[in-house]
A = this chain, B = another copy of it.
């Protein structure tokens, strides 16, 4: 951990935390844990979110510290981006982020562009939650049950429940410490992972029905039109994890979820099992992410984008 960042944070009077747009469990969990710890240390703290917190994470402690940015808000001493690979992932908060006298960027994405004044990027870390855990230790701040709940959520979600290849001995060591802080793993895991909504159940059924396989069954593709989403009553949030259905099938190396956002834009989620670097594929389409999990938003019709992505993946299989 960067000593200067630790020193600045311990001396700061006010800190604003910026998780990335479409915040996931890692972005939200690590932001809430850091916010609660800094607040308990007597600092002014706010977490500026781009959207409402997804329903699945609304049970987490610390959400009262989150709000939308208002242009009349006074700048804090430090604006700190968490789990945010580049300025684009700050969404509409990009300008606000650079208003503070000091900007900090703490992340684990290998594609991080180091856009802040001080940057700490550890791409060997499975989650930003693990980096925040170490940061809190360096800041000598006690990790209470609420903070541990948020950090465990961050770690568990970004490792796919300790299943992805990014999971390390350190990941489990930190998870062990967090469990010791008094969290209820059974209840927490159910809230994070076992909360399938009825629309999601229908969407899952539809996804299996629509699954297509290419390249000797090494590539799995699910294509959702707006009509499919409407028919199942599913929200965008319900689509989380659908891409893993294809990935979980025997012999599949790459799984794609190609989803119509509107008539001109298509969102693509990419997952791989063992050797294809899907962050490279996503980057070629203006997106980013990790080797085994990436995403991009592409201009074009659903069928055009689907064909383009299939071609791009084929070359790497």
Query: B197, A250: Cβ atoms under 8 Å?
Result: yes
Contact with B along A169-210 (1 / 0, CB 8 A): 111110111011000111101100111111001101100110
Q: What is the count of identical protomers in the complex?
A: 2
Give the residue among A168, A175, A209 with the most B Cβ atoms within 10 A. A175
Give the residue among A163, A187, A193, A198 with the most B Cβ atoms within 10 A. A163
- In-complex Cβ contact of A165 among B172, B176, B187, B204 (8 A): B187
Query: B250, A196: Cβ atoms under 8 Å?
Result: yes
- Cα–Cα, bound, A105→B193 (Å): 34
- In-complex Cβ contact of A205 among B171, B176, B197, B205 (8 A): B205
- Cα–Cα, bound, A225→B248 (Å): 26
Residues of B within 8 A of A187 (CB): 165, 274
- In-complex Cβ contact of A172 among B172, B196, B204, B205 (8 A): B172
Report if A89 contacts B (CB, 8 A): no
For this complex, into which size category does the number of interface residues on chain A fall?
35 or more
Report if A167 contacts B (CB, 8 A): yes
- In-complex Cβ contact of A194 among B173, B202, B248 (8 A): B248
A82 to chain B, nearest CB (A): 23
- Cα–Cα, bound, A202→B202 (Å): 15
Query: B176, A162: Cβ atoms under 8 Å?
Result: no
Query: B198, A249: Cβ atoms under 8 Å?
Result: yes
- In-complex Cβ contact of A173 among B171, B173, B201 (8 A): B173
A292 to chain B, nearest CB (A): 7
A197 to chain B, nearest CB (A): 6
Report if A75 contacts B (CB, 8 A): no
Report if A43 contacts B (CB, 8 A): no
Report if A267 contacts B (CB, 8 A): no
- Cα–Cα, bound, A106→B172 (Å): 25
- Cα–Cα, bound, A164→B186 (Å): 5
Write 11 A-B pairs (CB below 8 A) sorted by A numbering. A162-B162, A162-B185, A164-B185, A164-B186, A167-B189, A171-B176, A173-B176, A175-B176, A190-B274, A198-B250, A205-B209
* A-B complex: 3 closest residue pairs judged by Cβ atoms: A165-B186, A172-B176, A163-B189
